[in-house]
Structure 1
Amino acid sequence: MMFDAAQVEAAMGDAATAIPVARLALLRGLAIQTVRAATRLTGGPGTAKPGAYPIPIRTGTLRRGHNFQVQGDTVVVFNDTVYARANHDGFRPYGNPRAHVIPGRPFYDDALTQLDLQAAADAAATALGAK
């Protein structure tokens, strides 16, 4: 998943022009919110049903795999575990055609619905001493 500064500014409209210096701080704040929300969605009890949220914790590796990197005007949010995509998109266990399909739990898509643009903008302004 990527956040592009130009796309975020376009989505924010006039509010983005008030914080041109804070672009990266804003993107970083959005990435942090996304990682935190995805971490909540992937940190459930081991008794959670397949396909339900939060995703059960077995070892904690999926939950610890969330991270982000700033690359120029872009922030990339990712999970570096080998099975993150299978949990996100769903899978058929062990490639067995008779096994029940485990439905995907799109934790990054769902994390994006929890973003608070105003909170990210306020945090960026505060970090730059504007508030």
Structure 2
Amino acid sequence: MSFQPLTYSLLVNGSVYGSQSARHAYRFACALIEKGHTLVSVFFYQDGVYNASNLTLPANDEFDLHKAWKTIATQHNVRLESCVAASLRRGIVDNHEATTHQLLASNVSQEFELAGLGGLAEAMLTQNRVVQF
């Protein structure tokens, strides 16, 4: 029996802090990459959109989950997509939305992009597995 790598996308509904689901998703992402599978994208939805904010500042002795997501994105070419509607409702704004809505600043890290639910639907149609956290 030969190993056949699979493609994955993750759906993260839990906040960057205050819930374990985002941390579990990150650990799962690392494990599947280590096993030789491909992580194509991570879609952050509901309170999961807080993972995209570059204004999170964990204590020095805490794991920096936001930074970890950015690292996995750059090292493994993983798309990090934050639901645009859920993001805007929670004050998670990229440069484009800040300009459009005449806001003073944005707070989305460059490794993340605001995306519609179409990104999640595409992942469900094109990846071998979509796992929700």
User: Structure 1 length as normaliser, TM-score?
Assistant: 0.24
Of structures 1 and 2, the larger Rg is shown by 1
Return the structure number with greater relative CO, CA threshold 8 A, min gap 6.
2
Determine which structure has the larger helix proportion and give its number: 1
User: Structure 2 length as normaliser, TM-score?
Assistant: 0.23
